[in-house]
Amino acid sequence: VGETAGVTRFKSEAAFARHAGVAPIPVWSGHTAGRVRMTRSGNRQLNAALHRIAITQIRLNGVGQTYYRKRLTAGDSSPEALRCLKRRLARIVFHHLHTDHQNRIQPCQSAAA
The H or E element spanning position 103 is helix 78-103
pLDDT of 52 reads 95
Question: Whole-angstrom Cα distance, residue 3 to residue 20?
Answer: 9
pLDDT of 49 reads 92
Higher pLDDT: 67 or 96? It is 67
Is the per-residue pLDDT at 35 higher than 60? yes
**Per-domain boundaries in the chain:** 2-101
Average pLDDT over residues 63-89: 94
Average pLDDT over residues 13-25: 83
pTM of the predicted model over 0.85: no
Q: Is 8 exposed, middle or buried (0-12, 13-18, 19+ CB in 10 A)?
A: exposed
